[in-house]
Amino acid sequence: MQNLKTIKRFTSLFLAFAMWFWQFSFAQKPSTKATLTARKAALKAAPKVVLTAPRAAPEEVPSCLYLLARPTLSLGQVVTFLKEKNPDLPEAYARKIARIYIAESRIESINPAVAVAQMALETGFLRFGGTVDKKQNNFAGMGCVNTSTPGNRFKTILEGIRAHIQHLKTYASLAKLRKPCVDPRRKLVEESKNFGKVKTVQGLAGTWAADEKYGEKLERLTFELLRTQAAPDPAASLPKQPPNHRKKPLQTQANTL
């Protein structure tokens, strides 16, 4: 009898504990399906976090490759650069071209190194020989499409170079020209999306020329030009003429009686 009472008491305690455990552990928890639904709703409501790789810092473009820049460039550097690439080029002609390019670039605040490099690329270092003829005074292939459309003609070398510089400025800046406009194609650029938007030589690829590597070619020539050492000027090594110290003969007054 005593054992039976003990068993009943133990059974009652076990059932009470089981009821308590179920009440506080299972009864208050939602069903598995309800839990999954709640989790999905929470995920949808949570803000989405997009993990992206950090962007690489853009490579800094050297200032000498900007269209609006003033790198140090001498007339001697330009002449030596052109003569090294085209030994048959008359030096007087090379000097004239170099002088005008440097002067006109300074007037319109255009990078003279880029302008000269582009002229060298377009004319084959002043050999011409392509679609554009030397007599056209067109130093940048302006308006040239093919043999039937050889491009613009200019009356003088100065006018042709000025048109080139002004055309570069139209691509690089919204500012007004400082000299009367001689660029026949300025209006076309002004009415396009490229007006004042091209800042470096790379931007001339696909705008000035269709060649995708046009910017790379200009970049290479610009660096090459700026690295050129100007040849010594022969006139500078000539000895100076000594000053003329010859004294004038003394004038004697005639004796009067």
Structurally, the chain folds into a number of domains equal to: 1
**Torsion sign (Cα): 164, 73, 87, 92:** positive
Domain-embedded: residue 5: no
Burial 138-158 (b: 16+ CB within 10 A, else e): bbbbbbbeeeeebbbbbeeee
The residue segments making up the domain with residue 221 are 63-229
Distance CA(255)–CA(174), nearest Å, equals 82
C-alpha distances (whole Å) from 52 to each of 44, 49, 55, 56, 159 are 21, 10, 9, 12, 53
Domain-embedded: residue 203: yes
Domain-embedded: residue 244: no
CATH number for the domain spanning 116: value is 1.10.530.10
Helices (H), the chain: 2-25, 32-45, 75-85, 91-108, 112-123, 157-172, 186-190, 214-227, 234-237
97-120 pLDDT tens trace: 999 999 999 999 999 999 999 999
Domain-embedded: residue 210: yes
- Supply the pLDDT for residue 145: 80
- Supply the pLDDT for residue 253: 46
210-227 pLDDT tens trace: 999 999 999 999 999 999
Domain-embedded: residue 248: no
DSSP letter at 136? G
Domain-embedded: residue 172: yes
- Supply the pLDDT for residue 95: 98
Task: Please check the confidence at residue 152 and state whether its pLDDT lies above 50.
Answer: yes
Confidence of residue 254 (pLDDT cuts 50, 70, 90): very low
Domain-embedded: residue 44: no
Radius of gyration of the chain, Cα coordinates, nearest whole angstrom: 42
164-187 pLDDT tens trace: 999 999 999 999 999 999 999 999
Are the beta carbons of 111 and 149 closer than 8 angstroms? Answer: no
**Residue 254, burial from CB neighbour count under 10 angstroms (0-12, 13-18, 19+):** exposed
- pTM for the complete prediction? 0.70
Average pLDDT, the chain: 83
Distance CA(116)–CA(3), nearest Å, equals 115
Domain-embedded: residue 130: yes
